[in-house]
Structures are given as C-alpha cells and as structure tokens.
Amino acid sequence: MKRRAWLILGGSIAGLVVVGVSGCATTPAPKTTPNQSSAAATPTPTPTATATPTPAPAGPVSFSVTGSAPPDNYGDTVTIDYGSDTISDAGGTSVPWSATLPYVSPSTDSGLEYNLDAFLTSAGGSITCSITVNGKVFSSTATGANQSCDELVSPNAFGSGWSAG
C-alpha cells in the first residue's frame, strides 16, 4: 500500500506542476532575420535633390563722387577722371557725379583695374570718391584746396575678390 500511495501522491504532484506550467501565458518572440534586430526599425530618410545655386551675373561697376565743392574763379568745382585698364574717360566737373562701366571678369583680363580720380580746385571743398564692384564699395576722401581723392581697385591674387590698391 505504501507503494500505491506514493504513486498517487507522485501523480498528484506531477499534475500540479503541469497545471501550474500550463496556466502561464507566454508571448512568442518576434522573428528576426540575421541582419535585423528585434528593436523597432527606424525609417531611413529619403535623400532629396538640391539644386546648386547659379551665381548672379556681376552688375556694372559704379563710380561716384559726392560732397561739396564751391566753384573757383573759372566756375569749375572738380575735375573727374575714371575708367579701367581698357577704358579711360573724363567724367565731369561738378558734384554729385556718377557713372557706370560694364563689369569685366578678372579671368578675361589679367591686368584689370578700375580707377577714379577727383581733383578739387583752388576753391577747396570736401569730396568722397567711390567705386563699387560686385556690391563691394571702395572709397576715399579729399578735403581742401587742390586736394584729390584717388581710388584704384584691382582683383586680389588668386581671383578671390577685389581690393583697393
């Protein structure tokens, strides 16, 4: 009888273990491929095409003389000369004054320069000379009788911009 009781008792314990295990709910692990982790996949952004901006064409080169200059005994106030290495012109005899020349690329003219000279007469005055190339302004001033403002602009070495010389 001992043997039978042990079998009954052993069967009951085995039944409890099976019932205990069979009562647990489990969630199967997600299947992954060898190169995929089980973490949530992050979407890869789609590259967008970007256009390379086209540089705006260079505008004309602007020359100006501003200020005040009283007339001398001959009625002159200033004498203005301007130009480039290929164009030279007498500009005017009164202020304010302005003119433009076409822009020339330094790559097509190795000796390129723009110049502006304004001379006050014996009556004096105060003037500012300005040359504007590609939006960059270069200027100088003159004050007093027989004084001048001179501006000379040329490309930097290696074509990286413009500088006053």
The pLDDT assigned to 19 comes to: 42
| Contact (Cβ atoms closer than 8 angstroms) between residue 93 and residue 125 | no
The three-state secondary structure class of 165 is: coil
DSSP 159: G
Q: CA separation (Å) from 127 to 92, 98, 101, 122, 147?
A: 14, 13, 21, 14, 9
Q: Residue 29 is which amino acid?
A: A
CA-nearest of 63, 67, 60 to 91 is 63
Q: CA separation (Å) from 91 to 1, 88, 114, 115?
A: 135, 9, 14, 12
Question: d(Cα 125, Cα 61) in Å, to the nearest integer?
Answer: 26
The pLDDT assigned to 161 comes to: 76
pLDDT tens, residue order, the chain (165 aa) = 444 443 443 444 444 344 444 444 445 555 555 555 555 556 665 555 555 444 445 678 999 999 999 999 988 899 999 988 777 777 778 899 999 998 888 777 777 889 999 999 999 999 999 999 988 999 999 999 999 999 999 887 666 677 886
Long-range Cβ pairs for the range 38-44 (8 Å, 24+): none
CA 108 to chain centre: 24
**DSSP code string of 107-128:** TT-TT--EEEEEEE-TT--EEE
User: pTM surpassing 0.75?
Assistant: no
The pLDDT assigned to 162 comes to: 78
User: For the stretch 22-34, what's the b/e string if a residue is b when 16 or more beta carbons lie within 10 angstroms of its beta carbon?
Assistant: eeeeeeeeeeeee
